Every structure is written in structure tokens, then in C-alpha cells.
Structure 1
Amino acid sequence: MTDNDIDTIGLSRRRILAGLGAVGVASAGAGLGTTAYFSDEESFDNNTLTAGELDLKLDYRATYAGGPGRLEEVDGWYPDFDVQEEEPGVYLLGEVPDVGDFSWPEEVQERDLCDPEMNLVDGDAIPVFTLEDVKPGDYGEVTISLHICDNPSWVWMYGDLVENAENGLTDPESEVDETGGDPGEGAGELADAIDVTMWYDEDCDNVYEPGGGDDAPICVELVLDVSGSMGTGNRLQDMKDGASTLVSTILGASADNRVGLTTFANGANTVVSVTDDEAALQNAISGLSANGSTAMADGVSTGQADLENCPDGHDRIMVVFTDGQPSSGQDPASAAQAARNADPSTEIFAIGVAGAQQSTLESMASDPTDDHIFTATDDAALEQAFGQIAETLVGEQVIFEGSLAEAMAALSMDEGGIALDGNRSTEDRECFAGGLTQCIGFEWELPPDAGNEVQSDSVTFDVGFHAEQCRHNEEPGNPFEQPTPTPTATPNDTQTPE
């Protein structure tokens, strides 16, 4: 079910020669019987054009809540993975990457998983769930993280209900199931009974979080690095775009929310104190410039001081962004600890890019750090990193809710699958940026009130992802209706966990 061919743009290498002319002047003078020629030759040699790459890779973490005391039984269904009981009755069924000291929940958004040595899902069809004896009340979840290695890409999620089998009728089932139990006499009821939720898991924590915690209004302080290194390339503008997106999302989610803006370079300065005035914040963000060193600790302390201006009853949150290391002699860890221990306490998220040290981000972020650190390996991914935090704070978005049968119908390639959005914080659908991990959650449950009609039934289903380059492809149609790619077709890549 996997098509992992990467079609390469047909580009030619040409040798281009320029200035291949000769200008000659003949002269004759008294006593001179010779002729002279002036000549010149210029060339552009060894010209090479190399097609770019589009490589979609996946990793995942799958769990099954099937009741305590079943470790040996469940482990027997997975000969290639050592199933673990993480808590009573909850089993880890699979985890990729499964290399070295890598810890999926803690590091999935912090490491560069495009590294070939990480051994991600890259062209392989793998079974995530292979379960028997599923009972009403059982549920499972797989969080799949997507990695666009190199070029930004549109991404689609697709699927197929391969089988919905009756497998005969037990005596209790025959009393309530009128569809018949023999092959060809009726489909099973399990696909209709299983409930499915798919969502953008912004913090990759395997949990759907529909709202901002206790639903209290939030007061968010942006603490932004504007040191000299931020002038590199388009980094400053990418940060501005991300901060602007976060402001719009937070203030648009509730009239009671507030946002403040603090910057740090040689020192720190609160540019706009916590407010609901979006225009003032957007104007301040657009006017930021880069210069100076990296007084990160001053930024955290100054940002915390501004959070003291938050109205009572607001949850206090700080989002610290940096592209480098703190200046000598300053300790952002201590400043962050003071903010986290304040009364009321401040929850701290950290975004890093370029020269940002992972240890510094970890020293500032709230626990669990894997839910509060967002690392981008490409400046162009910064807007989406800010967007992920914004969506975490206002509530993760559902992609689909319904029965398993309905989910597979929505994901059908005949219907074009489900077009995924690389940035949920903006109005229009966006490409997935390279250099940023993004996660999709898929949870299924056989409800406790499921009846005897599903006894002995079984389902088989596939889920996959298709990526297609963004550049020169502004309004992509249904990727599954396109003709067979030719050497000049848009590069695409498809990965399928089944």
C-alpha cells in the first residue's frame, strides 16, 4: 500500500558558452607586411542543476489499554517488539525510532529525526495494531509524527477499511445480529461500533487536549531574542511572523485573554505590557530589529515582572524564543525557576532555532519539558512552531470524530483523503515546513456499552500519509486522481503505517 518513489524533476545540465566571437583588425603600414588579430574568449563552464528532494518520514508511538495482567498475551502478538506495561493495563505496542537512548515522548520534538541513523518509517508498511480479544471499554492510541525532510510540502492523510468481518455468529450474537454470520451474508458490526478521534497533537504527548487546561483566561508574555544573530537571513522576519500568529490566535480565542511583549539583547525591555490591544502588539512586533548580545536571563526576569500586571484569575504563561546561547555570567535557568515558583506560578514554553542549546531550553521550560519545548532546525519553520504553542494553549483541533467505518470513508483515496493543515493558527491551509516535527493523534475505542452484535467480529484498516511539494503547486487538487507521475512530475512521497 506504500508508494515511496520520489519523482525527480527532470532538470538538464547544460554547458553555456558566451562571448565566443573574435574581433579582428587588419592593418598595413609602410614597410610592414604583417597582419595582427585581437581576440578574446570567455566561457561559463561546468554548470550543474541538481533537483531538490522531498522526503516524508514517520515515527510513532502506539499504546493499548486492554486491562491489567495481559502483558505476556499482548507481547505474543508482537514478535518484533518487546511490549511493555507502562501502567496497569496500558501496554506500549510499538515505538519508532527504537534506537540507543532515544526516548520518544521526551525527545520527539527536540531531535533532528531526519538523520538517516534514526531509522524512521521510510517506505515500509507496518502494522501498528495487531490485537485480539478486544473487549468493550478497551481503547488504543497511536501518535504519528511527520517529518518533511527538505522542501516544504502539502500533506494528506488517507486510509482504507480493508476488511470488516463477521467471522460467524456466537450464540449470544445470533440473538441480536440479523446480518448473518457466514461469509458473504453480511458485514461485521465492529467498524461501526468503534469510535475514532483524530487530531493535531500539538505537543506530541499522546493525549487529546481540547481546551486550555482549567478554561481560565490566559495571560501570555512573549519573550523574544532580538540579539545580533537574529539578523541572519530571514530569521528575524520568520520570528515576527510566528509571534504575530500567536498574538492573533490567543486574543482571537477569548476576549478575556491578554498578551505582552518583552525583548532581550544587551538587556531586556517590555515593549508592550500585557494587553488585549492586538493592533498595538502587531505594530510593536513589526518594528523589532536585531542588534546586541543575548541577555536571556534579563528577558525572562523582565517578562515575569510584566506578568505581574495580569488580571486576577488569569493563568500566566511565558513563551521564550532564542536562536543562541545566553550571554556570559547570566543564568536563565535561575530566572525561569523563579518565574515557575512564583505565586501564582508561570508556565514556560521555550522555542529554539539555530544555535539555541537544548540544555538551556530544558532549564527554562516547565515540566514535563517534552510538552514545553519546540525546536526548529529551519528558520522557515518558526511561524509553525509558534502556531503549535498557540494551539496547545487554546485547544488542539480535531481532524475527525466518528465511527471507524466513517473515518475510513473520510480518508478514502477516492474522496481525496483528508488534506492536513501545516499551521492551524492561520485561516488558510498551509504547507508543512521542513525542519519541524508535527504530530497527528489517532485514538480508537470500543465503547463500554457495545453489545453482543460485535462478538468475534474483526476489522483491518490502513492509514497513510502523502506529501507533495509546495513550490509551483499553490492550489493542489486531489493527489490520488493525478495520472501516473512522469520524470517531470511534482515530487511526492507516501508513507504508510497500517
Structure 2
Amino acid sequence: MNDDTNDRQLYNLSRRKVLGGLGAVGLASAGAGLGTSAYFTDTESFTGNTLAAGELDLKLDYKSTYTGGPGRLEDIQAMGYPDAEDLGDGRYLLAQTPRPGDGMGWEDYLPEFDFCAPENDQYLVNGDGISIFHLEDVKPGDSGEMTVSIHICDNPAWLEMGGELSENADNTMSEPESEVDSTPDAGELADAIEVTVWYDEDCDNVYEPTGTGEQQELEVALVSDVSGSMSQEIGDLKSAAKGFVDNLSSPDEAAAISFSDGSSLDQQLTTNYQTVKDAIDQYTSGGGTDMDQGISTAETELISGANATSGASKVMIVLTDGQPSSQQAATTAAMNAKQAGIRIFTIALGSGAATSYLENNIASSPGDAYVAPDPSDLDTVYSEIAQVVLAGEQLIAQGSLADVMALLAGGVELDGDRTEEGRQPYPGNTTQCIGFEWVLPTDVENEVQTDSVAFNVDFTATQYRHNPQTTTTAPQ
């Protein structure tokens, strides 16, 4: 990493989402401020529904939802969410920014969006006031989620998450509450609400603590496009794919498959990772894009290869910079592989890749479809997939709302690369998703009636240059 720009620029993930609070029997969004520092800093804070930005540019986008029971769309719209949508099963889309066009999901829209372009500030949280949660009549069993997509533009930076509980009010005392609540001057809602905050690697707002290969042996096939259009990108592909292999450890096995005109099993499944990297080093570009052949060859190797293990977790990572020679054939091959129990991740490289097709037809789920706008982004993409596949998603904080806000009040240092030992800064042009979920459990009784809470959450970016930091706040 150099002083001004990081050699490993992070890519814009295909799904990026933000944080807030609740009001009335619920949470009210707000944010904390920023302390003085001798370094350039930039804070995006949910403090009184306002945000402050500095010279080191930090921008946010988000998506928030609320599960509050069926038939409440009009009530929710009346709470200040005029664009709220009923997602079914009592779940509602509250807000999102940027807002995609008709027929396009928020997650699908983000890969095409240049978050750091000044002209796009109007669509992002970048110094503007915003209210995420301002809900009333929250009841036991209700829950809400928000995914913040954080973008550090320009220079590398350290990132910290902060917050505080600014209100935990008992308010009026109803008759049912007075029978069980012996502390009329102290609210109980902050202790009753359960909160989880985590690094949401695939930005799907589902906390996945266990990686695909964490509880059993992992077998992964790297399926790489080496067609003629890859001539300029082949070096970056080799470097990033070998970096992924370096994350593996015995008994995990890896195989290398390439495709152009047809496909080639370049290295069968093995724990000799150097032979896999040697095979990848031999790649040269040329020919067409027979993706179906590459997927079928990988399926055969993972399911019935000489070193394939029954019961192992099977993973395939398919990279391409273009369109498959036959979409129908590739779709069929992917369907067969998924039906055989193989989880397929896809990487769409560059503007010529069939991004939507890979997400909707090849990847096991939209969350398993990644985008690398530039070849230099491949290192980060493979690292993100390695985090999901090998280790699962890491907690930032978990507990009652009161406990989580107490932890955030002291500041929690975020790690720019969870695959590396020790805390790492975030490179310039970085995107990081943070998941935040709150739940009011069903076993909470009348003691929280009419209670309300308000809490503050903020993110602070501090320059990396001339500012080495080595500490890491452990997940709580």
C-alpha cells in the first residue's frame, strides 16, 4: 500500500445498503459526532438526522426494511415513509438510496453506480440529513434491518464505528405496565431490544457466521475465462486466483479449470496448493467463451474426480469478462451443478461481462454474484469470496441495544481486510457493507409498553498516511 492510493483498489460490491433508530414504542435514528484529531477526518453521522462530511470523502448508501405484521402499509407510509413498499409476509421496504429505476432491484443497480463521482452525491448520504427509523407502535416480534454501504473515496483510511444511547424513556405508565414495572422513571426497551452488527460481506443483510467450508472439508474449483478478450486481464487474473489459493489450508482442496474454445482441467483437486498456482501461471488468452464447458468440467471434478470427497463442501468460482458462447448451454450446466450440491460464485470482470445474466442464471444466489469493474479489483473480489467461503461473516457487536450502544460509545475500529492478520486500513475507492438488525423478542412483556428509545450511530474515516495504527477492537 502506498501513501496516497492503495495498490489493491477495492471494487464496488453489487449490493450496498445504512443505519438509524426507532421512535414511540420503537427506535429513533440519530448519530454521534467526531472528536478533534490532528489528522484529516471525515464523519458520516446519524446525529439528530444530520450528517457531517470532511475533506477525506466518506459516503454512504443504504437500504432499510421493517417486519411489523401484514396489512400495515398505509400506517407505515403515514409514519414518514411515503415510498414504502409491501414486500409480503409482513415485511416492508422503508427506504433506499440510491433508488433504482423501474424493474431493477437496489442490489442490481449498485454495480453500475459510481459512488465517488461528485455528480452522484445527490443520490447518496454525504452531508445531508436523513432519518432511517422513525417507527411507532412497535410490538414484540417486530424487527428491522438496515445495510449500510460505506464508500471511502480517494485516499486510504482507517474506519471507526461509533454511537450512543441518547434516550431510554419509560414515558407514560399504562395499567398493564404498572402491574409489572417497578421502575417508572427508567425505560426497559433498550435492554429488551436485541441487536446484531456485522461485516456483511455479500451485502444481503443476513448474518452468516459459518463459512461454506468452516465445519467440513472444502473443495473449490477455480473456473477461469482465458478467451481472447482476456489478453489484457490475464496477469491480474493469475495474481488474484493464486491469492485465493493462498487462503486455503489442509484438508481443503483446490482445482484449476480454464475455458475458451472448450475447457481444460489444468489441475485436479489437491492439497498441494503450489501445483494449483503453477497451473494458473500457465494460462494464456485466446479463443471463445465456452463457459458451459468450464462449468461442466468443474462439476465432474468436484463430484466424481479422483480426489473428490463425498460430504465435502463443494464450491465453484466462475470468472468471465464477456458473454458465454451459449447462454442456454451455460445456464443448463450451472443448473446441473447446483442440483448436484455445488455452490457457485460468479465474478463479472469489466463492462463487457454479462453481469445480470451471471447473477440471475449462473450464481447460486444474487448474493453470490460479484462484480469487478477493473482488473485491479480482482484481488479484493477473491478476498471477499474467501471470507464468505472460508470463515463466514464476522461480528462487530451483538447484545441488547443498551450494551451495543455502550460498546460503540467507545468507538469500534473496523478492519479493512478480515482475511489478513491484524487490523488493516481501507484502501481508497473502497466499499464496505455493514449489516445492522434489531429485534424485539416475543417473550418481552408489558414492562416495555409505551417505552421509547433513541440512539446515535456514526462512521468516521481517518487518514492512513503518516498514521499507522495496529490495534483491533475484538467483536463483542
In structure 2, which of residues 302, 310, 314 is the aligned counterpart of residue 307 of structure 1? 302
State the Cα deviation string for residues 150-173 of structure 1 (Å, max 9, x = none).
334332222121211121433333
Question: 1:200 aligns to what?
Answer: 199
Q: From the superposition, tell whether residues 72 and 295 of structure 1 become closer, same or farther in structure 2 (CA, over 3 Å).
A: closer
Question: 2:5 aligns to what?
Answer: none
Task: Using the TM superposition, give the Cα deviation of residue 335 of structure 1 relative to its aligned residue in structure 2, in angstroms.
Answer: 3.1
In structure 2, which of residues 136, 140, 150 is the aligned counterpart of residue 136 of structure 1? 140
In structure 1, which of residues 370, 387, 400 is the aligned counterpart of residue 383 of structure 2? 387
Equivalences for residues 352-371 of structure 1 within 5 A = 352-357=348-353, 358-359=355-356, 361-362=358-359, 365-368=362-365, 370-371=366-367
AA matched with 1:173:
E
In structure 2, which of residues 326, 332, 338 is the aligned counterpart of residue 331 of structure 1? 326
Q: How many residues align?
A: 415
TM-score by length of 2: 0.76
Question: 1:155 aligns to what?
Answer: 159
* Unmatched runs of 5 consecutive residues or more in structure 1: 10-52, 182-186, 479-498
State the Cα deviation string for residues 102-148 of structure 1 (Å, max 9, x = none).
42133335644445347111112322111112112211111111223
Question: 1:221 aligns to what?
Answer: 221
Answer whether contact 1:169 1:180 (CA < 8 A) is retained.
Answer: yes
In structure 1, which of residues 442, 445, 463 is the aligned counterpart of residue 439 of structure 2? 445
Answer whether contact 1:268 1:295 (CA < 8 A) is retained.
Answer: no
Distance 1:265 1:472 in 2: 46
Task: Using the TM superposition, give the Cα deviation of residue 301 of structure 1 relative to its aligned residue in structure 2, in angstroms.
Answer: 4.0
Distance 1:71 1:302 in 2: 49
Question: 2:6 aligns to what?
Answer: none
Equivalences for residues 240-259 of structure 1 within 5 A = 240-249=238-247, 251-252=248-249, 257-259=252-254
State the Cα deviation string for residues 234-273 of structure 1 (Å, max 9, x = none).
x656544543443344x44xx5543211234566433321
The answer to whether structure 1 residue 377 and structure 2 residue 373 are counterparts is yes
Larger RCO (alpha carbons 8 Å, 6+ apart): 2
Q: From the superposition, tell whether residues 121 and 66 of structure 1 become closer, same or farther in structure 2 (CA, over 3 Å).
A: same
Distance 1:62 1:157 in 2: 18
Q: From the superposition, tell whether residues 387 and 333 of structure 1 become closer, same or farther in structure 2 (CA, over 3 Å).
A: farther
Answer whether contact 1:109 1:204 (CA < 8 A) is retained.
Answer: no
Answer whether contact 1:191 1:405 (CA < 8 A) is retained.
Answer: yes
Question: 1:461 aligns to what?
Answer: 455
Equivalences for residues 409-428 of structure 1 within 5 A = 409-412=406-409, 415=410, 417-428=411-422
Answer whether contact 2:212 2:388 (CA < 8 A) is retained.
Answer: no
Equivalent pairs: percent with the same residue? 43
The answer to whether structure 1 residue 103 and structure 2 residue 123 are counterparts is no
State the Cα deviation string for residues 166-200 of structure 1 (Å, max 9, x = none).
2143333333333333xxxxx31211111110112
State the Cα deviation string for residues 205-225 of structure 1 (Å, max 9, x = none).
121122356966442111124
The answer to whether structure 1 residue 405 and structure 2 residue 402 are counterparts is yes
In structure 2, which of residues 161, 174, 178 is the aligned counterpart of residue 174 of structure 1? 178
Distance 1:363 1:82 in 2: 26
Equivalences for residues 334-345 of structure 1 within 5 A = 334-342=329-337, 344-345=340-341
Question: 1:68 aligns to what?
Answer: 70
Distance 1:299 1:435 in 2: 32
Q: Secondary structure at the match of 2:176?
A: helix
Distance 2:166 2:287 in 1: 58
Distance 1:302 1:265 in 2: 13
Task: Using the TM superposition, give the Cα deviation of residue 336 of structure 1 relative to its aligned residue in structure 2, in angstroms.
Answer: 4.7
TM-score by length of 1: 0.73
Q: Secondary structure at the match of 1:341?
A: helix
In structure 1, which of residues 120, 123, 134 is the aligned counterpart of residue 124 of structure 2? 120
Give the aligned CA root-mean-square deviation in angstroms.
3.3
AA matched with 1:263:
S
Task: Using the TM superposition, give the Cα deviation of residue 361 of structure 1 relative to its aligned residue in structure 2, in angstroms.
Answer: 3.2
Q: From the superposition, tell whether residues 294 and 147 of structure 1 become closer, same or farther in structure 2 (CA, over 3 Å).
A: farther
